[in-house]
Amino acid sequence: MLEKFKLTEVWLKIALLFVFSAFYVAALSFPEQSRQFPQLLAVASLVMTAIALATDFTRKRAVRAEISGVDDTELKVLDADDLRARKKRYYQAWAIILLSTIIGYLFGFLFSALCLFAGFALVFGSRAKLPRNLVAGAGMTVVVYLVFGVMMGVPLLNGVLW
Amino acid sequence: MDVVLQAIAAVFLWQNLAALAGGSIYGVIIGVLPGLGPSAGMALALPLVIKWDPVTALIFMGSLYKCSNYGGSLTAILVNTPGDASNAATILDGHPMCQQGKGGVALGLSATAAMVGGTLGMICLIFAAPFLAEFALRFGPSEYFLTALLALSIIAAVVQGATLKGLIAAGLGLLLSTVGFDVITGHLRYTAGWAPIEDGVPLIQALVGLFAVTQALVLAESATSISRLAKLFGGFWEGVRTYFHYPVSIVRSSLIGLFIGVLPAVGQSSAGLLAWADAKRSSKHPETFGEGNPEGVLASETATNACMPGDLVCTIALGIPGSVGAAIFLGVMIIFGVIPGPLVFTEKGGLIYSLFFALVLTSFVIFVIGMTVGRRLAAMTLLPNAIIVPLILVVSLLGSFAIRNEMSDVFISLAFGALGYVMLKGGFTPIPLLLGLVLGELVETNYHRALMISGGSYTIFTASIISKILIVLTVLSLIGPYLGSFWKTLTQGEK
């Protein structure tokens, strides 16, 4: 039973139960015609999620659920160290994305683009190829600016600070 | 007949041929950039063409629309990110083919499908448009509602092989589509006072998040290039030859595309997925679908390309767009003084037939583009993560940002990216969620309209023959996957 709680699938379904319940409860304050459809959907989705969750717990053993969108062939042969390394890379990617988005919010989207290229080159690229990756990133940022900023008029340099 | 001949002659004027070539190239570039689909491409190109002659401008926009769909299939195959919802089915087999190093073959299949499906669809519709539009007019609100439900249930049942999970994802998508102003009462729902989602969860931003951001995260995590074999097997012409090995699938997928296309507001996203599901069901080896079966790419791409002409007929003749891209195209037409409606074929016949013929030519232009640059684009799958991941993120998030020039749209895309990643890890595919989001407004509006017409009686949903057929098909699509094993148990017993 306890091993089932180690699965992302189980936690996702539990989270979905809360999400669907929240949709139902939040709709209580809407006028009747506005709440009818979302409440109907929320109840149907809630029931289906509960059934799916119950099915997970009646299974004899835990089954890793990742589907073809994620390459699970690797997961089957990866040891604990590799899995930890994957997790680390995932969090590093999010850190770069969030930091560059904040920079983009403050200074304009173009700086966000520059940070993404530089961040991934620094963290994910090999040290030997760092200069090449940085130059490629800077070049692509210039192309983005010329195509979208100059030719199409997208305000890439508008941030909240200026 | 004179009108048609004059319309064809008009396409060969130098400015219209230049618009066709320019729109095609621009469309492929826009489509190739993950997240920037036909709608964003047309929106970005509008300032450029606003002062052009209407025929030239609409040829440019039509070519852009069609080619960005093709470009979207390139990214679906190469980086597992559909340029638009219409390419969602292509990722199911196209990207696994790419991972096996058969990116060139998949691109050849996709370009041939664009040429064959698009040409077949266009030729059929030039002659059959009036009859098909008349049939589509028999659809009332209850039929629209049930058609959308059928599309959702089929996708939920077949796309992943786990009906319940598919339905849960579709339910979440439909619920998210209720965020914002209620189209019937005007009441604001689930926005928590946040202005960027008052008009609803923005579709393009959600799409960018669910596919591009999720894909970037998956790539970043795996630390390998997109093609895990580090080299590409098979070329464009192998894909072309493979395409013609499946004549039955070509015909079936074209017919599915045509039929779905002519149904107002159902659109290309449903056509590709339904044709893929149909090919899987009728195959002797259904287990190979989703693992890189070329027939899967063929079916989805042929249907999507055959669907677009029908989609345009509904948009032009009825004013009901079949997809987000068609909705933008509808707006472009109105800007150029072409008011959609039943009379448009007589009042603006020359312009409409010029557009149709230009789209036939565009199908061949796509093939040439695929033949000349497809292989080079396939090489993109060998780029290291340190370059490809930020490139996907920058271009797709830029597509999200450029629509309203708001950083809040980037936050929305990132939120959907996180959701898409968790869904994949949790064994859910985000495709039914996206379809729920796309069809949500159609489902709810027609649900309410049908009930208003019937005075609140639910019998309206079973009143017509079309409704009854749609209900039977929906039920069959849901229980169908279980019937096979039940029948086997019944006839062979438990072994």
ipTM reported for the complex, 2 dp:
0.89
DSSP structural state of residue A95:
H
The answer to the question of residue A146 being in a domain is yes
The answer to the question of residue A161 being in a domain is no
The answer to the question of residue A69 being in a domain is no
CB contact under 8 A, B220 and A13: no
Render B246-295 in DSSP notation, one character per residue: -HHHHHHHHHHHHHHHHSTTT-HHHHHHHHHHHHHHHSS-GGGTTS--HH
Considering only CB atoms, which chain A residues are within 8 Å of B411? 101
The beta-carbon neighbor of B175 closest among A9, A23, A158 is: A23
CB contact under 8 A, B448 and A9: no
A128, A82: one domain:
yes
The answer to the question of residue A71 being in a domain is no
What is the rounded distance in angstroms from the CA atom of residue B461 to the CA atom of residue B454?
9
CB contact under 8 A, A70 and B429: no
Considering only CB atoms, which chain A residues are within 8 Å of B182? 30, 33-34
Residue whose C-alpha is closest to residue B262's, from B318, B325, B339: B318
What is the rounded distance in angstroms from the CA atom of residue A10 to the CA atom of residue A25?
23
Identify the weakest region by mean pLDDT among A22-36, A89-103, B404-418, B434-448.
B434-448
Please give the backbone phi and psi of residue B291, each rounded to the nearest 5 degrees, phi first.
-115, 5
pLDDT tens track for B303-336: 888 888 777 777 777 666 666 667 677 777 877 8
pLDDT tens track for B104-160: 788 888 888 888 888 888 777 777 666 655 666 677 888 888 877 877 787 677 665
**A110 is in which domain, residue-wise?**
78-151
A142, A82: one domain:
yes
Taking the Cβ of residue B18 and every Cβ of chain A, the question of whether any pair is shorter than 8 Å is answered with no
pLDDT band for position A2 (cuts 50, 70, 90): low
What pairing do the DSSP bridges indicate for beta strands B188-189 and B180-181? antiparallel
Considering only CB atoms, which chain B residues are within 8 Å of A89? 220-221, 223
Taking the Cβ of residue B394 and every Cβ of chain A, the question of whether any pair is shorter than 8 Å is answered with yes
CB contact under 8 A, B223 and A23: no
Residue whose C-alpha is closest to residue B450's, from B143, B141, B103, B29: B141
Tell me the domain boundaries of chain B: 2-492
Taking the Cβ of residue B226 and every Cβ of chain A, the question of whether any pair is shorter than 8 Å is answered with no
Considering only CB atoms, which chain B residues are within 8 Å of A11? 426
Burial of residue B184 (CB within 10 Å: 0-12, 13-18, 19+) is middle
- The pLDDT score that the predictor gives to residue A130 is 83
Q: CA angle at residue B342 from B339 to B346, to 5 degrees?
A: 80
A13, A53: one domain:
yes
What is the rounded distance in angstroms from the CA atom of residue B31 to the CA atom of residue B65?
9
CB contact under 8 A, A154 and B401: yes
Stretch 180-209 of chain B: residues touching chain A, C-beta under 8 Å: 182, 184-185, 187, 189-190
Taking the Cβ of residue B386 and every Cβ of chain A, the question of whether any pair is shorter than 8 Å is answered with yes
**pLDDT of A24 over the 90 cut:** yes
Residue whose C-alpha is closest to residue B97's, from B74, B122, B118, B120: B74
Number of H helices, E strands in chain B: 21, 2
Stretch 265-294 of chain B: residues touching chain A, C-beta under 8 Å: 290-291
pLDDT band for position A67 (cuts 50, 70, 90): very low
Residue B161, number of CB atoms within 10 A of its CB: 16
**Which one is predicted more confidently, B348 or A10?**
A10
A36, A95: one domain:
no
Residue A152: closest C-alpha in chain B: B44
CB contact under 8 A, B189 and A30: yes
Considering only CB atoms, which chain B residues are within 8 Å of A83? none
CB contact under 8 A, B386 and A94: no
A53, A98: one domain:
no
- Chains A & B: contacts with CB separation below 8 Å: 188
Identify the weakest region by mean pLDDT among A122-126, A134-138, B342-346.
B342-346
- The pLDDT score that the predictor gives to residue B494 is 43
The answer to the question of residue A110 being in a domain is yes
Taking the Cβ of residue B413 and every Cβ of chain A, the question of whether any pair is shorter than 8 Å is answered with no
Decide if B204 contacts B42 (C-beta within 8 A): no
- The pLDDT score that the predictor gives to residue A103 is 93
A146, A99: one domain:
yes
Domain end among A11, A30, A58: A58
A87, A139: one domain:
yes
The beta-carbon neighbor of A69 closest among B190, B407, B424 is: B424
CB contact under 8 A, B187 and A31: yes
- Closest-CA distance of chain B to residue A117, Å: 5
Task: Give the number of domains in chain A.
Answer: 2
CB contact under 8 A, A12 and B99: no
Domain end among A10, A25, A58: A58
Considering only CB atoms, which chain B residues are within 8 Å of A31? 185, 187
The beta-carbon neighbor of A48 closest among B168, B397, B444 is: B168
A92, A125: one domain:
yes
DSSP structural state of residue B33:
S
Residue A78: closest C-alpha in chain B: B222
Residue A6: closest C-alpha in chain B: B426
Q: Which residues of chain B fall short of a pLDDT of 50?
A: 229-230, 493-495
A17, A49: one domain:
yes
